[in-house]
Amino acid sequence: MTHRIALVIQYDGSGFRGWQNQKDSITVQGTLEEKIAELDPISPVKVVAAGRTDSGVHASGQVVHFDCSGPIPIHKWASALNGRLPASIKVLEAVNVPIEWHACYSAKYRRYRYSIFNGSYPNLFLQNISWHKYKFRLDINLMKHALNDLLGLHDFAAFQKAGSNRSNSLTTVQEVSILRHGDIVTVEIQASGFLYGMVRLLMGQLVAVGEKRLSLERFRYRWRKGVRSEVKEAAPPHGLCLIRVGYEEKFFSKEKSFDTFPSFSLPVFDSSKHKTT
């Protein structure tokens, strides 16, 4: 009998060409499908994800599903896969779901976090998970005003990369937040769905607002009027992480699927206090 299994997974996107299978490239989907096939070779393996993350983007709460017909018990799948997968991918949980349930289409929301290191000097331990912006102290109050405008159902064509196969660029932004913890700035955006490249294009514009290179008025004009030609700055992928996918059904343990991406708090470094005479 064929049954459907859903996984909650984490991955460090640094070494992958994104989620989706690509010819002659190492992807998260391809790696996962290869290891599942080793455990269940009698079933054709196709893994479907809630969100197709771009090259270099991380995930701490990605949800995927696949169908299988082998004898492995559900509770054994997580440990069996973790014993075969590279260190950059970890399965947090495996659960049985109805055959009609779909990791992507059944999702009510996706939530992304973008991390910015706003310190004056580089930090080796943050360079793979944050965008280092050091020339200006970001004004998070301006950024907060810009974010709050995005709430609700809107056309976000200005924040969509070329190559999307969506029929339209409408989506509903459900929640937004921006916080500063010393030199760490984190932006979270939750939406019913995201356009291709949306978060990185939005973050590029948002940082320009925070650095006061782009006015709030021009920011609003660009996305409300869909002026894609003016949206040229995209934030780098390594600062972005898919932290949560929400479903109506409560199949997953909250501690495994809610938010497992680490939060950081770094003090503001004042070089004037460390000078010697």
From the list 12, 24, 40, 54, the catalytic residue is 54
Q: What stretches of 45-195 show up as alpha helix (H) in DSSP?
A: 77-82, 140-148
Residue 54 falls in the annotated catalytic set: yes
Q: Measure the CA–CA gap between 51 and 113, rounded to whole angstroms.
A: 14
Q: Measure the CA–CA gap between 146 and 25, rounded to whole angstroms.
A: 37
Nearest to 197 by CA among 170, 222, 172, 234: 234
Whether 86 and 31 have beta carbons less than 8 Å apart is answered as yes
Go through 101-128 and write b for each residue having 16 or more CB atoms within 10 A of its CB, e for each that does not.
eebbebbebbbbbbbbbbbeeeeeebee
Whether 20 and 65 have beta carbons less than 8 Å apart is answered as no
Residues classed as catalytic: 54
